[in-house]
Structure 1
Amino acid sequence: MAHPSQLGFQDAASPVMEELLHFHDHALMILFLTSTLVLYMIVAMVSTKLTNKNILDSQEIEIIWTVLPAVILILIALPSLRILYLMDEINDPHLTIKATGHQWYWSYEYTDYENLEFDAYMTPTQDLTPGQFRLLEADHRMVIPVESPIRVLVSAEDVLHSWAVPALGVKMDAVPGRLNQTVFITTRPGIFYGQCSEICGANHSFMPIVVEAIPLKHFEYWSYLMHEEA
């Protein structure tokens, strides 16, 4: 959960988000080293005798400033492609959930269960209980078993939406008439908050996403209760 004056990302709750955090630090370090080197070269050329025509026309310098950016791009591209592959890989998900965006709420359908579907609206401020977060709490949470591959099919009913949960490293566009999919695994029990990340209208900021990861036996009991209510 994000908090005021926070620096950096939320704590990772999935293997993909952990990889994204490592890649962020990796790319940031390259950026810092590159900026430091460029600043040093600028200061050195201004304050010393390096700015003579022999240096400016040096073949070695031209090779360096051509090869060095290529090396930097490779150092960024290789881990980036690896993470993209991990995010697109789908290995026998244990549960499939269809999330459909509406103006302005989400509806969820557990496709592996019969008649297990519900709508999730934002909880009004006056109905919040102690410990709940304003503009982030929903009347129904998307409950999932922890440490299980979850496939989410994302679509929209009316306009573009985006199903995003930062702690899980998930962000998938919801496009009307199209079915996108994403897969994630939660590494620990908890409640993870997200919001629609596509400007979808006047109440865009009032359609939160709440994912609750619980042990498998508790999930089975929850699904039984939901089925009985339906």
Structure 2
Amino acid sequence: MHTFNGKFIDFFYSYSFLLVLFISVFVFYLIYSLSSSSFFYADGLDASKLEVYWTVIPGMILFFLSIPSLVSLYLQDKIGHYLYSGLFHISGRQWYWEIKDDIHNYVSNSVMLNDIKGYLLRNLSVSDSVYICVNTINRFICSSKDVIHSFCIPEFGVKVDCIAGRLNTVNSLPMSSGVYYGQCSEVCGLNHSYMPFVVTVLPENSYLNLFTSILSPSDPIGEVSDKKSG
């Protein structure tokens, strides 16, 4: 993954996998050693210490698993809670996204098959991408105008439900530039599969040039909004 939260999720996955692998090897070793041994351990039928061990040790394992999980949830909720450089309002509709940022409002529609060009991807390319700067904290405020949708960008480690009448927030800190694709992850009707979402992460210089061109007097904010919404 390419965000701070995403890298921590990757670490948590590897950490959990190694812990589960160690437990599995240890348990199978005990099963093999006991089943292949010709001796019978009589104290195993009634051993207070053994009962304490198999109660305390699994509890400690769950405790060590809970620490990175809670830290990951905390980072997703609190990173950039007060300091963020980009604020985006995402509203899900059947079957497209309405996006509002600090400059303008626009609609993100899926590019259908007959509009596909050589550099576009079927069911993933959109009419308007969201542009953010690398190594900056961005906040997405998600809601819905009709049924339940789900705003999901797998490479960011981001997935949040969009519910009518409720605002759900998620923060993201991209650490590498590129084009990242997401889709609605909640079945929302007939054209659910035609709700992609694209985030383009730009280097700082490219982002500043884009931002300057949008705010230039030759292309006022009102005209940009009309172009985007059209």
- TM-score, length-normalised on structure 1? 0.88
Instruction: Mark the CA change 1:72 to 1:222 in structure 2 (over 3 Å): closer, same or farther.
Output: farther
Alignment-derived partner of residue 136 in structure 1: 124
Q: Give how far 1:65 is off.
A: 0.8
Q: Per-residue CA shift, 1:56-107, capped at 9, x if unaligned?
A: 3222221211111011111111111111111111131112110000111111
Q: Per-residue CA shift, 1:163-189, capped at 9, x if unaligned?
A: 110111111110011011111111122
> Where does 1:77-116 land on structure 2 (aligned, <5 Å)?
77-89=66-78, 90-110=81-101, 112-113=102-103, 116=104
Cα distance in structure 1, aligned partners of 2:156 and 2:170: 11
Contact 1:144/1:219 (<8 A) preserved? no
Q: Per-residue CA shift, 1:107-164, capped at 9, x if unaligned?
A: 1011x23xx1111111112212223221111111111222221111100011111111
Alignment-derived partner of residue 199 in structure 1: 187
Alignment-derived partner of residue 57 in structure 1: 46
> Where does 1:142-153 land on structure 2 (aligned, <5 Å)?
142-153=130-141
Alignment-derived partner of residue 36 in structure 1: 25
Cα distance in structure 2, aligned partners of 1:109 and 1:59: 63
Give identity over the alignment, percent: 30
Q: Give how far 1:53 is off.
A: 3.5
Alignment-derived partner of residue 72 in structure 1: 61
Q: Give how far 1:42 is off.
A: 1.9
Unaligned 5+ segments in structure 2 are: none
Q: Give how far 1:204 is off.
A: 1.4
The amino acid across from 1:102 in the alignment is R
Cα distance in structure 2, aligned partners of 1:162 and 1:223: 30
The amino acid across from 1:126 in the alignment is N
Cα distance in structure 1, aligned partners of 2:131 and 2:113: 22
Unaligned 5+ segments in structure 1 are: 1-11
What is the aligned length? 216
The amino acid across from 2:37 in the alignment is T
Does 2:20 align with 1:45?
no
Q: Give how far 1:50 is off.
A: 5.6
The amino acid across from 1:155 in the alignment is S
Query: Which sits farther off after the overlay, 151-160 or 117-126?
Result: 117-126
Q: Give how far 1:51 is off.
A: 4.9
Q: Per-residue CA shift, 1:194-223, capped at 9, x if unaligned?
A: 111111112211100100112331341454
Contact 1:44/1:50 (<8 A) preserved? no
Does 2:20 align with 1:26?
no
Alignment-derived partner of residue 115 in structure 2: 127
RMSD: 1.7
Query: Which sits farther off after the overlay, 62-71 or 212-221?
Result: 212-221
